[in-house]
A and B are shown apart, each in its own frame.
Chain A
Amino acid sequence: MKRTLRVDALARVEGEGAMYVRLDGDEVADVQLRIYEPPRFFEAFLRGRAFTEVPDITARICGICPVAYQTSSVRAMEDACGIAIDDGPIRALRRLLYCGEWLESHALHVHMLHAPDFLGYDSAIAMAADHREVVERGLLIKKAGNTLMEVVGGRAVHPVNVRVGGFYRAPTRAELRPAAELLERARSAALETVRFTAGLPFPDVELDHELVALAVDGEYPIDRGRIVSSAGVDIGVGEFDAVFEEHPVKHSNALHARVRERGSYLTGPLARFNLAFGALSPAAREAALEAGVGPVCRNPFQSIVVRAVEILYACEEALRLIAEYEPPDPPAIAIEPRRGAGCGASEAPRGMCWHRYEIDDDGTILAARIVPPTSQNQLAIEQDLRRVVARHAALDDDALRARCEQAIRNHDPCISCATHFLTLDVDRT
């Protein structure tokens, strides 16, 4: 029997995507993650802009992870100008702002987008009727993250305080205090969320994607690092093109990225967790082990637990950074443009976000390239779908479609980002 499953507009993902699955009997004939989000051509219109404009313009690629774009873009511009801000108070403030983004994005995804799949609800709002405390916990953590972004960045969506070289104004210690109070409460809530997610029902699936993440000795990767993988890649950010490639496919407005020699790979929370487990805070490691996911977790459905562990870590890391905070003075290093090229990468909540720019002597942008996390994960998501469909082919269309959507949400796709990205069609022919 041939059958087709389609979801024309995926819900509870960021942006517009669709899914198409075609089965021939129990054989999976085709699986496509379709990204039909209209393209917005950022890389084209960045040409001719000033090098100082990248944090404001690239933030607009994504309302959920603007700090990822801001951080990668300013680091790339600094690299082009021969400056690396790898340590010190400006770097610490960048990492603090980034913790805020991890918290708001992960809290939204875990409690409001992904948890309803496991508990059988259409939305967090429907789920709140029976599990109000879960939704309220999510909202509390999200608010802590957003508050941190407001205090450091000016606002939660498209922060205004990030510039090439640092910040426009460093917040005072007193300004950080209300955020710290919320973060203390969020840390307790995060521990509850790790325990809650650990108790959810998980299908028994093991995946063997090559895992790719940034790496810094002794640190959990967030705002910078070298690029490493579970298959032994260990390169500088500037060597990305030597190992990875992007190519267009007909069913998607997002380019597909792959490891040149091996094919698909996965970036994001599972990659970071497996590659840098030892660098988590002791409490986050302990919570992960208690939840049964550490130090190795290869079940993509358990990414919800890993995200909860990263929430706990981000609370602790933000509190540490606030406790040690010294306002950078001046808040930014003066950066003089020079003709050249530079690369920057950081860990968006959903995976590595890589940028490269070429600039002229006066700082005018000559070329721009942006590789967002979801375009890197598209092939891995399609492979996951293929396995999920093969394993659950006996399910009726509605149940199979729901399981497929859940498998896509495992990777928290950010479609607005990837378009330059999703509808589920299941075609059972």
Chain B
Amino acid sequence: MTQSISDLNDKQIWDSAHAIRTGQRLNKEDLSDEAMSEIQKWTDAQPALPAIQTPTEPWRNTTASRPLNKMGHAKKHLKDFQKIDPSLTENEVAKILQHVKDTGKPSPSSFGSTNYESVVNIGGKSVNVKVNVSSGGGIKTGFPEY
């Protein structure tokens, strides 16, 4: 149902203004054009808002050495990652595993393999991710521990 600005409480106005100033998408169906216009005017009159600190996800800048379905058994953990962030794709999970391999803390594992472990930011959550790498350097598996 469309609301006019008089229907909104202070918090709703502030949230809408904040969304405009930070470039977030507003659900315009919830507000009348008049309300949107008033909020926009009010927003423009305010001093600049401080930059919002968004969680960094450096793994996004990683290039995976191979696709997830060629990282040994790792693909079976795709759903485990998607429980943390349902929007994660196979390519993104491959990037996360590659990032942990490249930056994580190594420890010896059985049969000549090595485990790498690192806390990774996924969808704003800090997640401990473990990756197992063969003696030949290939990723055998990788998963979030929770």
A, B in one complex? no
